[in-house]
Structure 1
Amino acid sequence: MRIRNLYDPPTLKDRDPVVPWVPKDIMTASARISDEGCEITVTGDGVGWLYPPLQDGLAKVVWEKADGGNLIGISDNDTVPIYPGVTVLVRLCGYEDASLVTMLKNLGLPLVFAASDHPY
């Protein structure tokens, strides 16, 4: 069975940039919207925290990173760590039922997928 992504969530190009919280005395954080998405830059020693986006009636909303990974704090907290460097967020992914995310994580599958021969 071939697996491909059939989900096309909205991009972050038309949204305001999101800036993570960082301890002001040892770190800095900034964000800007680029052609690729929301580019977050964190400098200093330590870790910053990105708060979850608005749920908009959904059970869970998470950010998708440009490298295909997802920032998820669904298991124990809604905030996610942001480490020094550049992180690019490209999409917001929403789910009506958080159990779907848990099931896919336990199976080791990407968060959004569908079998190409059974798209529904």
Structure 2
Amino acid sequence: MRIRNLYDPPTMDDRAPVTPWAPSGMTASSKTTDEGCEITATGKGWCWLYPPEPYPDGLANVVWQKKDGSYLVGIDNMTVPIPEGVTVLTRLCGFNDRSLVTLLQNAGLPLVFAATDHPY
């Protein structure tokens, strides 16, 4: 199974900050900070964050790591819900087999455990 680190702030040399899609009645913005990609969503409900384009080839799932160490796991089309407020993202990994996300979580390992920049 393949895992690729697709996004590695705070340097973010290879990716621009991504802005979630916001439904009517909400707004979303993003900016690069020293801590990562800071997303601000206002309004009631959820915004939806898509992986940065070009979409990664051959990947079944993406996982965004948040500043607090928790994860946002992509759903079927690799998007994740973003709640209202401020969310800071620090890494994006892509997986070519969605079952690997479950395997790593069940083993108690971080989802970036086997990424190319964190060899095991």
Q: Which runs of 5+ in 2 are unaligned?
A: none
Please give the secondary structure, in 1, of the residue aligned with 2:100.
helix
Q: Partner residue of 2:8?
A: 11
- Tell me how far apart the structure 2 counterparts of residues 59 and 84 of structure 1 sit (CA, whole Å): 27
Tell me the TM-score normalised to structure 2 length. Answer: 0.72
After TM superposition, list the pairs within 5 Å mapping 1:1-120 onto structure 2.
9=5, 10-12=7-9, 13-14=12-13, 15-24=15-24, 26-53=25-52, 54-74=55-75, 76-113=76-113, 120=120
Please give the secondary structure, in 1, of the residue aligned with 2:40.
strand
Tell me the TM-score normalised to structure 1 length. Answer: 0.72
- Tell me how far apart the structure 2 counterparts of residues 73 and 81 of structure 1 sit (CA, whole Å): 8
Q: CA RMSD in A?
A: 2.6
Q: Which runs of 5+ in 1 are unaligned?
A: 1-8
By how many angstroms is 1:106 displaced? 3.2
- Tell me how far apart the structure 2 counterparts of residues 81 and 59 of structure 1 sit (CA, whole Å): 17
Q: Percent identity?
A: 66
Q: Residues 45 and 62 (structure 1 numbering): CA distance in 2 closer, same or farther, change over 3 Å?
A: same
- Tell me how far apart the structure 2 counterparts of residues 65 and 56 of structure 1 sit (CA, whole Å): 23
**More strand by proportion, 1 or 2?**
2
